[in-house]
């Protein structure tokens, strides 16, 4: 079991390195986010212990990039015990959150519990079209490294379009797949939802993925 510690304070890093090594883990340490991401790209880690306050890229930015690998567990470490930080961390996909100063046995217990959790997980089915990525298990979508914030309906709509990528879907098909049976069949809602989704998915990217087939419906695909 290999653990990566990303922490700029040498004392804390040494403390974690020593304690975790003595507990039988293979531990690598990085003193900055850039070094941490570099190591994460080179080795297969089961867990990353990530400090929030880092020089250069902070822990949130590092977390965002680490999070693209959904099998990796991340525990955030911070001196700030504010509830807002905790919520932010968990919302951004951290698996656990520990406030400094902490007792080593508590950290070890959390590490063990996280690693136990990670053992049996099945690889999630992530949908990908070009640099658009959708993770149904975590309910997250990314365009490149940019996280896309979607409503529940937009998420469902994007999922339908991505699953049938390359196939044209009519407005009626989309309604039946995304909205429930009792939904008032006003196809205008599809147009409105598509244009909102398009703004979030395509507006900031040169390569457009959502296309309108006039008089028929919509298709999500890469076009040269
Ligand atoms: Ca720090």
Non-local CB neighbours of 98 within 8 Å, separated by 6+ positions: 75, 76, 77, 78, 106, 107, 110
How confident is the model at residue 220, as a pLDDT? Answer: 97
Rounded Cα distance between 33 and 62, Å, is 6
* CATH 3.40.50.2300-classified regions of the chain: 2-116
What is the 143 CA–ligand 1 centroid distance (Å)? 29
Residue reference for tokens 């100063």: 101
Is residue 103 within 8 A of residue 19, CB to CB? The reply is: no
pLDDT confidence bin for 184, thresholds 50/70/90: low
* CATH 1.10.10.10-classified regions of the chain: 127-220
The CATH architecture that domain 127-220 belongs to is Orthogonal Bundle (1.10)
Is residue 221 within 8 A of residue 129, CB to CB? The reply is: yes
Higher pLDDT, 206 or 156: 206
- Residue ranges near ligand 1 (ion) with Cβ within 5 Å: 8-9, 51, 53
How confident is the model at residue 121, as a pLDDT? Answer: 45
What is the 6 CA–ligand 1 centroid distance (Å)? 9
Q: What is the percent of the chain with per-residue pLDDT over 70, rounded to a whole number? A: 90
Higher pLDDT, 15 or 186: 15
| Structure confidence by residue, pLDDT tens digits, 99-131 | 888 889 989 999 988 888 755 444 457 899 999
How confident is the model at residue 33, as a pLDDT? Answer: 95
What is the 141 CA–ligand 1 centroid distance (Å)? 29
What is the 87 CA–ligand 1 centroid distance (Å)? 19
Query: Of 24-28, 34-38, 71-75, 154-158, which has the strongest mean pLDDT?
Result: 34-38
Residue 37, pLDDT > 50, answer: yes
What is the 35 CA–ligand 1 centroid distance (Å)? 14
What is the 1 CA–ligand 1 centroid distance (Å)? 24
Contacts of residues 136-142 at CB distance under 8 Å and 24 or more positions apart, as own/partner, are: 137/70, 138/70, 138/93, 140/67, 140/93, 141/201, 142/68
Looking at domain 2-116, its CATH class is alpha beta
What is the 220 CA–ligand 1 centroid distance (Å)? 43
Higher pLDDT, 184 or 95: 95
What is the 20 CA–ligand 1 centroid distance (Å)? 18
Query: Of 107-111, 151-155, 217-221, which gets the smallest average pLDDT?
Result: 151-155
What is the 13 CA–ligand 1 centroid distance (Å)? 9
Mean pLDDT of the chain: 86
Query: Of 5-9, 119-123, 196-200, which gets the smallest average pLDDT?
Result: 119-123
Helical axes 188-201 vs 171-178, angle rounded to 10°: 80
Give the global pTM. 0.53
What is the 77 CA–ligand 1 centroid distance (Å)? 9
What is the 79 CA–ligand 1 centroid distance (Å)? 8
């Amino acid at each position: 079991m290999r653990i990566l510690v990303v922490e700029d304070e040498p004392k804390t890093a040494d403390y974690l390195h020593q304690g975790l090594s003595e507990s039988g883990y293979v531990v690598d340490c990085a003193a900055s986010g850039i070094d941490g991401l570099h190591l994460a790209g080179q080795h297969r880690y089961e867990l990353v212990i990530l400090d929030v306050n880092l020089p250069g890229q902070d822990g949130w930015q590092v977390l965002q990039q680490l999070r693209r690998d959904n099998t990796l567990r991340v525990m955030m470490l911070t001196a700030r015990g504010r509830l807002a930080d905790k919520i932010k961390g968990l919302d951004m996909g951290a698996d656990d959150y520990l406030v400094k100063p902490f007792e080593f046995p508590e950290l070890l217990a959390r590490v063990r519990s996280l690693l136990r959790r990670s053992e049996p997980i099945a690889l999630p089915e992530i949908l990908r079209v070009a640099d658009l990525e959708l993770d149904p298990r975590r309910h997250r979508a990314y365009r490149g490294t940019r996280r896309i914030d979607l409503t529940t309906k937009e998420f469902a709509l994007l999922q339908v379009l991505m699953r049938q990528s390359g196939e044209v879907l009519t407005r009626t098909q989309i309604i039946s797949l995304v909205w429930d049976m009792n939904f008032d069949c006003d196809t205008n809602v599809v147009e409105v939802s598509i244009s909102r989704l398009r703004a979030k998915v395509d507006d900031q990217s040169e390569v457009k993925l959502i296309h309108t087939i006039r008089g028929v419906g919509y298709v999500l695909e890469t076009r040269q």
